[in-house]
């Protein structure tokens, strides 16, 4: 059974909707509520150079999204490589801990130096990737702030 308050609220909403002055909440919300950035939707009434401009703007948006997605994948790959290098370095450290001959120790030192240089290189590349992701996110947010007028 419907309660008085819910019935009253329903009747009030019907009266307001029939007056034409108030639009329902679902109609006021944009279609991209769950997305961080609205995708550019070109107007179908345009012709000639306007369609080319719309095509170019949509292309820029896809380009930024693709670059952002690729950098995120690259960052995941860096993290995986870093974990593997750390495992390898720990394996070398355990093996070289009890090395008795000079040759074994020199090989351990060489491997340790090469692994440490790879780790430093990987850290610097990962830092550049993080900066790129940040730059792409700022560009996407900037484009969204102009409501896709520019990009």
Q: Which residue has the higher pLDDT, 125 or 24?
A: 125
Place of tokens 């850290």: 123
Give the pLDDT score at 143.
Answer: 73
Q: How far apart are CA 97 and CA 91, in angstroms?
A: 10
Give the pLDDT score at 147.
Answer: 65
Give the pLDDT score at 59.
Answer: 67
Domain boundaries, the chain: 1-30, 36-145
Give the pLDDT mean for 137-141: 81
Q: Which residue has the higher pLDDT, 52 or 7?
A: 52
64: CB partners within 8 A, 6+ apart: 136, 139, 140, 143, 151
Q: How far apart are CA 116 and CA 63, in angstroms?
A: 36
Stretch (H or E) spanning 29: none
Give the pLDDT score at 61.
Answer: 67
Q: How far apart are CA 144 and CA 29, in angstroms?
A: 16
Residue 79 has pLDDT above 80, yes or no: yes
Give the pLDDT mean for 122-139: 88
Give the pLDDT score at 19.
Answer: 47
Q: How confident is the model at residue 25 (pLDDT cuts 50, 70, 90)?
A: very low
Q: How far apart are the first and last CA of the chain?
A: 53
* Model pTM score: 0.49
Residue 85 CB-density burial (10 A; 0-12 exposed, 13-18 middle, 19+ buried): middle
């Amino acid at each position: 059974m419907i309660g008085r308050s819910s019935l009253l609220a329903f009747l009030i909403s019907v009266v307001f909707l029939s007056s034409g002055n108030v639009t329902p909440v679902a109609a006021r919300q944009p279609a991209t509520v769950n997305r961080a950035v609205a995708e550019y939707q070109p107007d179908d009434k345009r012709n000639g150079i306007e369609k080319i401009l719309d095509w170019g703007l949509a292309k820029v948006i896809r380009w930024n999204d693709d670059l952002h997605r690729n950098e995120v994948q690259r960052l995941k790959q860096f993290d995986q490589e870093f974990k593997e290098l750390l495992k390898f370095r720990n394996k070398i450290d355990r093996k070289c801990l009890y090395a008795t001959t000079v040759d074994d120790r020199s090989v351990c030192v060489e491997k340790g130096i090469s692994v440490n240089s790879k780790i430093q290189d990987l850290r610097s590349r990962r830092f550049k990737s993080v900066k790129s992701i940040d730059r792409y996110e700022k560009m996407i947010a900037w484009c969204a702030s102009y409501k896709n007028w520019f990009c």
